[in-house]
Structure 1
Amino acid sequence: MSEELILRPLETRDLPEALAIQSAVYPAFLIEPAEAFASRLNVPAQFCLAAVRNGELVAYLLAHGWPRQSPPPVGAELSVSAPSEILFIHDLAVGANGRGLALGRRLVKRAFELASLQQLTRAELIAVEDAAAYWKTLGFAEEEIPATLEAKVAAYGQSARWMTRAISNLPGE
């Protein structure tokens, strides 16, 4: 039996499966309510993606245009009127049935392609739960946290790291 893997926009109908993946991979303090999660799908410049394998959501990426150096707080519902200065990668999660398929890399690559069509040239994120090493493999670098961001980054956990990079090809491409 051949396996079918599809990358497509994340949709409202995916929320139950996406929330289940979120609950399985993140600690309780990083779990966002359904309303906050869903609000990322309503931002005008949204690049939220789903990886579907044999009809099952196995990974998702929440990414959207957002103001530079202004990460939204955990659990915040997003405003649809926020300007799109950068691509903010809010959440990347791969469920157990999606591991080992390079889905994170594939989802980020597709989000970069979509964001560059909107003339976005930089990406920002907060790496959580010791994920900074992973994001470095995708070309992100830790930056010194401006004083205005210290509290926001700290709210994402003790190991949270502020990371940025230019939107271009991923390393190794």
Structure 2
Amino acid sequence: MIRPFRVDDLPAALALQAVGYPEHLHDGEAAFASRVRVAPDWCRVAETDGRLDGYLLSHPWTSTAPPAPDVTLTVAEGPVWYIHDLSVAPHARGTGVGRALLEACRKAHPRARRSELIAVDGAGPFWTRLGWSPVGPLPESLRVKVARYGAGAVYMGRELD
């Protein structure tokens, strides 16, 4: 079942983040909660029988100006659907959970015309299969920011139908 991300989902989402991402990319509880607070309609979870299968943290934002990891947001505004974090539990990988989370958010925001994200830890091919592609050339300030996400991090974008 796909549903809105609730504050009581934080412990399970933080545990899933710890399994799915390198430590230098971890968001603390305050950063997670801030995204849910400022953009509740853009954040979703997938669960089966009360068990978290995955989550999506996203929000409206400004093009090519992504917030850094573990930053607490006070507002979320802009013309771009920025995907901050999509994580699928190991037990649910390959089942379409990630795609379902994205589709649920997209359906809730049909006026969004562009999406951007930073693909990390080798996730570029996954995002390419879903229609995102590398953005470039990047301004130097954005290139430096993306490099902080680790080797192989790629800034990606997609025009939405």
TM-score normalised by length of structure 2: 0.94
Using the alignment, how far apart are the partners of 1:83 and 1:45 within structure 2?
A: 13
- Measured after TM superposition, the shift of residue 104 of structure 1 is 0.7
The residue aligned with 1:112 is 106
The Cα RMSD (Å) is 1.3
Report how many aligned residue pairs link the two structures.
Answer: 160
The structure 1 segments of at least 4 consecutive aligned residues displaced by more than 4 Å after TM superposition are none
Q: Does residue 161 in structure 1 map to residue 154 in structure 2?
A: yes
Residue deviations 1:65-105 (CA, integer Å, cap 9, x gap)? 1112110001111122x422110000010112222211111
| Deviation by residue 1:137-163 (Cα, 9 ceiling, x = unmatched) | 000000112223112211211211000
Alignment pair present for 1:88 and 2:100: no
Q: Return the structure number with greater helix share.
A: 2
Partners in 2 of 1:64 and 1:83 — Cα distance? 8
2:114 is matched with 122
Cα offsets for 1:114-143 (capped at 9, x unmatched): 222xx2210000000010000000000001
- Is the 1:51–1:107 Cα contact (8 Å) retained in structure 2? yes
Is the contact made by 2:39 and 2:58 (CA closer than 8 Å) also made in structure 1?
no
User: TM-score with structure 1 length normalisation?
Assistant: 0.87
**Runs of at least 5 residues in structure 2 that lack an aligned partner in the other structure:** none
Tell me, in whole angstroms, the C-alpha distance in 2 between the residues paired with 1:114 and 1:95.
23
- Give the distance between the partners of 2:51 and 2:97, measured in 1 at CA: 14
Aligned to 1:138: 130
Percent of counterpart pairs with the same letter?
39
Q: Aligned equivalents of 1:46 and 1:142: distance in 2?
A: 26
Give yes or no for contact 1:45–1:65 (8 Å, CA) kept in 2. Answer: no
1:67 equivalent in alignment to 2:59: no
What's the offset of the Cα at 1:44?
A: 4.0
CA-CA distance at 1:59 after TM superposition: 0.3
